């Protein structure tokens, strides 16, 4: 911040930024590094090292061919696995870009210091992951996200990039189809702050906490996607919600796919490896949507254990392998299920994990609003289509963080973006009004939020059908009306968590509504979206992206073509 | 259903009132964590209760605090393992913003000062830099640090000398000094070779007890001292 003594700033003066990045996880930080040298600010609702990227466990995919079993791996195979895993809803050139950029991305992180696990000859070790037969997933024990995030954040400190921590963005300023900045709360300062900016990037993560049973960090409210939606930005494929097959019974804390990649077995109450019934070739390493449905089917058929879970058995891997390759899993099981993974099988069941859909952007992160970009989990290019493969999300954050940052840099160089300062000031005034209005309410925001979570987990989950989807939508609509009557204990801005909950509630309900409407409209089953009343994939009608835009009576849905330029859609077999 | 009484030491740097314990009754069942209990208070009793959180699974390092006198992560403390009355205080050795939220600027700056990234003198290779499992083992315990500041808050030397770089930052320096890929030479070590750096530790080992990740910062500090002495005596390094 430049403050020179003697210079008079007129009232309403706004500092202007070249680029404002909202989100301090892997995608946001990687974009910031690509934009270094410009006047760039990262706004993060938590300290960057507390971002949800830190919780990623299993690894990052790249066809490095380091393992003997992966000697004939290739970018082409990685691309095809990704497209097939997506149930052919991924845009194929985008998926190819993801996979082409993978090796250099992993090497770059290694060069910056990420302590990847190694082979005896010193090269990066790789493990098998779901949806492919080759070991392609590079990892740092089972704390890959932690190590990548610390590596990137250290680079951000090295380059002295401005980071505003504990800053909750509430509004994207859009006028005349262009972006002009953002407005939010600086929690520690306790003030509403505007950022006038020539370009804005959202890297705000997923919306997992719209669901009750989620692996996601508590901060993953999806607010970024909802803020973009309210600013008129189209939102794509939100009904495709990934349910991770193995989350810890009771808390839904993630148990990495790497546990199965290392050789862990899924067993029902009878001790049978039931995946042989569902995916005889890949067994436990079938794509996540298939394994999650298999587990739920076992539990629903009464073949689970009392309380409703199955077992993830690691015992045969032995003490050394568990502690060397899966130390974090051992700790999580110990801390949160009070189980020693070397002695006892882990109790697991599926839970919400990842948002395939998000802000509709192209391969360079451009949205429909000029100067507004998105990357990472909050964005949908789409590289994951209807189902993401494990190990591809860390990859996406870094690849498209860099590519989007570079695209923003070109955008800023190519055109002069006039900022409508009055629009920024107007947005700030609206935010302040919105907070003032909460003083007159009567209802508890957390209670409404929890009801919404129950509805989504119970009725918009792994198995969906028309009747319960209609009921879910109607109840969400009612909750959205209730949300207008929410109260807060205090409208103080300083570190007031209750206020943030109240402000984010309508955003979460917006997303819940888009998910419900998209799921209800899509009368087929594809990837993670499974309709018991329409159990097959319907390429004739539904090989299309759902695109939702804000409307006063709810989301307006349109459908856009999928890029099928490389591969012919086929039925998935595993 | 049981009920616990949670006493939270509340204060705000913006007003001058002395910190005081405020008590909240929290009903719980099914293995609720302390963090969940604090957020239940925020949702149902007092929305202004300030507490940091993110992952709720003991991997992000947000929710370090003092729990019945011990420093630890609130998300890892289970109500059923705690007494019926729980006293919760903000981390020591750091200024308080509000309630359980402390100002960690000093902690982060200390970490950044050791240059916690790989320094190489040559151009990076086309592929990965080779590192054998044995070479990686030398950094293994330090890389697991999640920078939660439990050690920083537990250290009595930190309390005595706020300028002390602290266990986490020095462990980070040890991690890069020990990394076979790093070529920082002795400069970073020299910059930390003073009474507020590697010679500030008095081997009380509270950092080791406080770490939720089984990192042993004091081991790293000892290694750095040995290396600094060897450098001083002009003996061949490494």
A378-426: per-residue pLDDT in tens? 999 999 999 999 999 999 999 999 999 999 999 999 987 789 999 999 9
Are the Cβ atoms of B50 and A497 closer than 8 angstroms? yes
B46/B75 same-domain check: yes
In a domain, B85, yes or no: yes
Query: Are residues A368 and A504 both part of a single domain?
Result: yes
Q: Is residue B18 part of a domain?
A: yes
CATH number of the domain where residue B22 is located: 3.10.20.30
What is the Cα–Cα distance from B155 to B95, expressed in whole angstroms? 15
pLDDT of residue A14: 86
B227 and B113 share one domain: yes
| Chain B: closest CA distance from residue A51 (Å) | 7
Overall pTM > 0.90 = yes
Q: Is residue B112 part of a domain?
A: yes
| Domain boundary, last residue among B63, B87, B102 | B102
Last residue of a domain, one of A311, A334, A350: A350
Sequence-distant (6+) residues with CB within 8 A of A385 are A83, A85, A86, A87, A88, A89, A90, A91, A95, A237, A240, A356, A527, A562
Q: A522 and A422, same structural domain?
A: yes
In this structure, are A201 and A309 located in the same domain?
no
A556 is catalytic: no
Residues A493 and A387 in one domain: yes
Interface residue B136 vs chain A (CB under 8 A): yes
Which residues 96-115 on chain B approach chain A with CB closer than 8 angstroms? 97-99, 101, 103-104, 108, 112, 115
Nearest CA in chain A to B101: A495
Q: Which tokens sit at A329? A: 């899993």
**Mean pLDDT value across residues A3-19:** 70
Spot the catalytic one: A30, A171, A288, A531.
A288
Residues 212-241 (A) with a CB less than 8 A from some CB of B: 217-219
E strand intervals along A209-357: 235-236, 241-248, 265-267, 310-313, 346-355
Residues B113 and B215 in one domain: yes
Number of A–B residue contacts, CB under 8 Å = 168
Q: Is residue B237 part of a domain?
A: no
Interface contact flag, B54 A154, Cβ < 8 Å: no
Is residue B82 located within the same domain as residue B71? yes
Residue of A nearest to B138 (CA): A115
Q: Is residue B238 part of a domain?
A: no
Mean pLDDT of chain B: 95
- Asked if residue A558 is part of any domain, the answer here is no
From chain B residues 191-220, the ones with a CB under 8 A of any chain A CB are none
Tell me the shortest Cα–Cα distance from A384 to chain B, in angstroms: 24
CB atoms within 10 A of CB A536: 10
SS3 A105: helix
- As for how many domains chain A has, the answer is 2
Whether the predicted pLDDT of B29 surpasses 90: no
Same domain, B86 and B109: no
**Mean pLDDT (whole number) for A527-540:** 98
Q: Which of A220, A325, A498, A504 to mutate to test the interface with B (most CBs of B within 10 A)?
A: A498
Same domain, residue pair B44 and B86: yes
B163: closest CA of chain A, how far (Å):
20
β-pair type (B96-98, A126-128): unpaired
Q: Specify if B199 maps to a domain.
A: yes
Domain identity same for A426 and A522: yes
pLDDT at B16: 80
**B152 and B59 within one domain:** no
- How high is the pLDDT of residue A415? 80
The model's confidence at residue A59, banded by pLDDT at 50, 70 and 90, is very high
Answer yes or no: do B48 and A490 touch at CB < 8 A.
Answer: yes
Rounded to the nearest angstrom, the minimum Cα separation between B155 and chain A is 22
Q: Do B200 and B144 have their domain in common? A: yes
A329 and A193 belong to one structural domain: no
Q: How many domains does chain B have?
A: 2
pLDDT band at B232 (very low <50, low <70, confident <90, very high): confident
Same domain, B135 and B72: no
Contact flag B118-A112 (C-beta cutoff 8 Å):
yes
Q: Please say whether the beta carbons of A64 and A106 come within 8 A.
A: yes
A interface test, pick of B57, B107, B111, B126 with most A CB neighbours within 10 Å: B57
Q: Give the range among A82-91, A323-332, A433-442, A449-458 with minimum mean pLDDT.
A: A433-442
- ipTM of model over 0.90: yes
Mutating which of A163, A214, A335 best tests the B interface, going by the most B Cβ atoms within 10 A?
A335
pLDDT at B236 over 80: no
Tell me if A465 is assigned to some domain: yes
Which residues have CB under 8 Å from A62's CB, separation 6+?
A78, A102, A103, A105, A106, A136, A138, A395
Is B57 within a domain?
yes
CATH of the domain at A325: 3.90.700.10
**Does some domain include residue B87?**
yes
Give domain status of residue A552, yes or no: no
On whether both A47 and A175 belong to a single domain, the answer is: yes
- Give dist(CA A505, CA A484) in Å, integer: 10
Mean pLDDT computed over B22-29: 96
pLDDT digits (tens, 9 = 90+) for A229-284: 999 999 999 999 999 999 999 999 999 999 999 999 999 999 999 999 999 999 99
Buried b (16+ CB within 10 A) or exposed e, B49-65: bbbbbbbbbbbbbbbbb
Per-residue pLDDT, B198: 97
Is residue B237 scored above 90 in pLDDT?
Answer: no
Give B61's contacts in chain A (Cβ within 8 Å).
Answer: 49-50
Query: Can you list the pairs that A528-531 forms with residues at least 24 positions away whose Cβ atoms lie under 8 Å?
Result: A528/A240, A528/A241, A528/A242, A528/A243, A528/A288, A528/A289, A528/A292, A528/A356, A528/A386, A528/A387, A529/A239, A529/A240, A529/A241, A529/A386, A529/A464, A530/A289, A530/A293, A530/A462, A530/A463, A530/A464, A531/A464, A531/A465, A531/A466
Specify whether A522 is located in the same domain as A501.
yes
| Closest residue, chain B, to A248 (C-alpha) | B57
Residues B134 and B178 in one domain: yes
- pLDDT above 70 covers what percent of chain A? 98
Q: Please answer yes or no on whether A188 and B181 come within 8 Å at the CB atom.
A: no
Give Cβ neighbours of residue A428 (< 8 Å, ≥ 6 apart): A183, A192, A194
A378 & A475 share domain: yes
Angular region, B120: left φ>0, alpha ψ -120 to 50, beta rest: beta
In a domain, A132, yes or no: no
In terms of domains, do A227 and A272 share one?
no
What pLDDT, on a 0 to 100 scale, did the predictor assign at position A1?
46
pLDDT of residue A9: 56
DSSP single-letter state for residue A53: G
Same-domain status, A317 and A255: yes
CATH number of residue B209's parent domain: 1.10.1060.10
Tell me which residues of chain B, numbers 155 to 174, contact chain A at a CB-CB cutoff of 8 Å.
Answer: none
Q: Which of B28, B34, B43 to mutate to test the interface with A (most CBs of A within 10 A)?
A: B43
pLDDT in tens, A188-241: 999 999 999 999 999 999 999 999 999 999 999 999 999 999 999 999 999 999
Among B102, B133, B160, the domain-final residue is B102
Nearest-by-Cβ selection for A55 from B46, B55, B133: B55
Tell me: do B28 and B58 sit in the same domain: yes
Closest-CA residue in chain B for A328?
Answer: B59
CA A553 to chain B, closest CA, distance in angstroms equals 29
- CA of B170 to nearest chain A CA: how many angstroms apart? 15
Other Cβ atoms closer than 10 A to B222: 15
Backbone angles phi, psi at A532, to 5 degrees: -65, -25
Cα→Cα distances B134→A107, A117, A367, B139, B176, Å: 20, 11, 47, 10, 15
If you average pLDDT over every residue of chain A, what do you get? 96
Residue A8 pLDDT class (50, 70, 90 cuts): low
Q: Name the A residues in 393-422 with CB < 8 Å from any B CB.
A: none
Residue to mutate among A497, A502, A503, with most B CBs inside 10 A, is A497
Shared domain for A522 and A482, answered yes or no, is yes
Q: Which residues of B touch A502 (CB under 8 A)?
A: 47
Strand A126-128 to strand A135-138: parallel, antiparallel, or no bridges (unpaired)?
Answer: antiparallel
Q: Which residue has the higher pLDDT, B232 or A315?
A: A315
Contact across the interface for A120 and B132, Cβ inside 8 Å: yes
Cβ burial, residue B127 (10 Å; 0-12/13-18/19+): middle
A69 is a domain residue = no
Contact list, B118 vs chain A (CB under 8 Å): 111-113
Which of A:155-174 have CB within 8 Å of B?
Answer: 155, 157-158
Residue A61 lies in a domain: no
In this complex, do B54 and A122 lie within 8 Å of one another by their Cβ atoms?
Answer: no
Q: Are residues B220 and B139 in the same domain?
A: yes
Give the pLDDT of residue A108: 97
A113·B101 Cβ contact <8 A: no
pLDDT band at A298 (very low <50, low <70, confident <90, very high): very high
Domain boundary among the residues B84, B102, B120 is at: B102
pLDDT of res. A387: 97
CB contacts under 8 A, B 45-74 vs A, are 46-62
Pair type for strands A167-175 and A60-61: unpaired
Domain of residue A374, CATH code: 3.50.50.60
Contact A466/A532 with Cβ under 8 angstroms?
Answer: no
**DSSP E strands, chain B:** 2-10, 20-28, 64-67, 70-73, 85-89, 96-98, 101-102
Residue A93 falls inside a structural domain: no
Q: Would residue A297 count as lying in a domain?
A: yes
**What confidence category does residue B182 fall into, taking pLDDT thresholds of 50, 70 and 90?**
very high
Which residue range is the domain that position B165 belongs to?
105-232
| Residue-range definition of the domain harbouring residue A328 | 244-350
Of A147, A218, A335, the CB nearest to B54: A218
């Amino acid at each position: 911040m430049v403050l020179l003594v003697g210079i008079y700033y007129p009232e309403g003066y706004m500092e202007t930024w070249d680029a404002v990045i909202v989100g301090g996880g892997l995608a946001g930080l990687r974009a910031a590094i690509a934009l270094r040298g410009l006047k760039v600010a990262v706004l993060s609702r938590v300290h960057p090292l507390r971002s949800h990227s830190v919780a990623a466990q299993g690894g990052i995919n790249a066809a490095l061919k380091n393992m003997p079993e992966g000697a004939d791996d290739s970018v082409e195979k990685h691309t095809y696995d990704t497209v097939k895993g997506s149930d052919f809803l991924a845009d194929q050139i985008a998926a190819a870009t993801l996979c082409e950029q993978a090796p250099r991305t992993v090497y770059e992180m290694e060069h910056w210091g990420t302590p990847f696990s190694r082979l005896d000859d010193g090269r990066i070790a790789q493990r098998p992951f779901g949806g492919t037969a080759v070991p392609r997933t590079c990892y740092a024990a089972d704390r890959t996200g932690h190590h990548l995030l610390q590596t990137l954040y250290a680079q951000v400190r090295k380059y002295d990039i401005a980071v505003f921590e504990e800053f909750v963005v509430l509004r994207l300023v859009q006028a005349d189809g262009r972006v002009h900045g953002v407005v939010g709360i600086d929690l520690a300062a306790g003030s509403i702050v505007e950022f006038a900016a020539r370009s804005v990037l959202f890297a705000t993560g997923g919306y997992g906490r719209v669901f009750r049973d989620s692996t996601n960090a508590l901060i993953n409210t999806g607010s970024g996607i909802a803020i973009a939606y309210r600013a008129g930005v189209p939102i794509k494929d939100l009904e495709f919600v990934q349910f991770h097959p193995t989350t810890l019974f009771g808390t839904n804390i993630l148990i990495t796919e790497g546990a199965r990649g290392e050789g862990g077995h899924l067993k029902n109450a009878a001790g049978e490896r039931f995946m042989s019934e569902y995916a005889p070739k890949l067994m436990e390493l079938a794509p996540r949507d298939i394994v999650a449905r298999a587990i739920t089917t076992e539990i629903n058929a009464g073949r689970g254990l009392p309380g409703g879970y199955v077992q993830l058995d690691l015992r045969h891997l032995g003490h050394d392998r568990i502690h060397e390759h899966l130390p974090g899993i051992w700790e999580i099981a110990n801390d949160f299920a009070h189980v020693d993974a070397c002695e006892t099988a882990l109790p697991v069941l599926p839970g919400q994990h990842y948002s395939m859909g998000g802000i509709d952007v192209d391969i360079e992160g451009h949205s429909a609003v000029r100067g507004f970009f998105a990357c990472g989990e909050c964005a949908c290019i789409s590289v994951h289509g209807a189902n993401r493969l494990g190990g591809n999300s860390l990859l996406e954050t870094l690849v498209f963080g860099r590519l989007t940052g570079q695209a923003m840099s070109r955008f800023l160089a190519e055109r002069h973006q006039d900022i409508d300062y009055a629009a920024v000031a107007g947005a700030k005034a609206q935010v302040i009004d919105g907070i003032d209005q909460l003083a007159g309410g009567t209802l508890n925001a957390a209670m409404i939020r929890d009801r919404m979570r129950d509805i989504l987990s119970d009725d918009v989950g792994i198995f969906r059908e028309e009747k319960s989807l209609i009921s879910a939508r109607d109840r969400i609509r009612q909750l959205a009306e209730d949300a207008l009557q929410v109260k807060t204990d205090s409208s103080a801005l300083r570190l007031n968590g209750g206020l943030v909950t109240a402000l984010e509630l309508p955003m979460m309900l917006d997303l819940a509504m888009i998910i419900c409407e998209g799921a209800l409209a899509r009368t087929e089953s594809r990837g993670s979206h499974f309709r018991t009343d329409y159990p097959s994939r319907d390429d004739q009608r539904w090989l299309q992206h759902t695109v939702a835009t804000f409307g006063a009576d709810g989301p307006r849905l349109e459908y856009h073509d999928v890029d099928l330029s490389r591969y012919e859609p086929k039925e998935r077999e595993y | 259903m049981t009920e616990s009484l949670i006493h939270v030491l509340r204060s705000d740097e913006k007003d001058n009132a002395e910190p005081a314990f405020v008590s909240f009754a929290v009903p719980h069942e099914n293995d609720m964590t302390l963090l969940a209990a604090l957020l239940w208070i925020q949702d149902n009793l007092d929305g202004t209760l300030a507490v940091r959180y993110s992952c709720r699974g003991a991997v992000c390092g947000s929710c370090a605090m003092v729990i019945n006198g011990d420093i630890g992560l609130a998300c890892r403390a289970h109500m059923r393992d705690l007494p019926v009355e729980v006293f919760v205080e903000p981390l020591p050795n750091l200024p308080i913003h509000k309630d359980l939220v402390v100002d960690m600027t000093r902690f982060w700056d200390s970490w950044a000062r050791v240059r916690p990234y790989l320094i190489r003198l040559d151009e990076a290779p086309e592929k990965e830099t080779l590192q054998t499992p044995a070479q990686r083992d030398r950094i293994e315990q330090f890389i697991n640090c999640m920078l939660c500041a439990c050690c920083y808050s537990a250290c009595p030397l930190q309390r005595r000398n706020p300028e002390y770089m602290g266990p986490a930052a020095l462990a980070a320096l040890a991690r890069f000094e020990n990394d076979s890929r790093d070529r920082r030479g002795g400069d970073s070590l020299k910059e930390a070779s003073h009474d507020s750096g590697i010679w500030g530790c008095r081997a009380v080992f509270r950092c080791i007890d406080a770490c939720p990740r089984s990192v042993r910062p004091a081991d790293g500090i000892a290694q750095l001292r040995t290396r600094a002495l060897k450098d001083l005596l002009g003996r061949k390094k490494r």
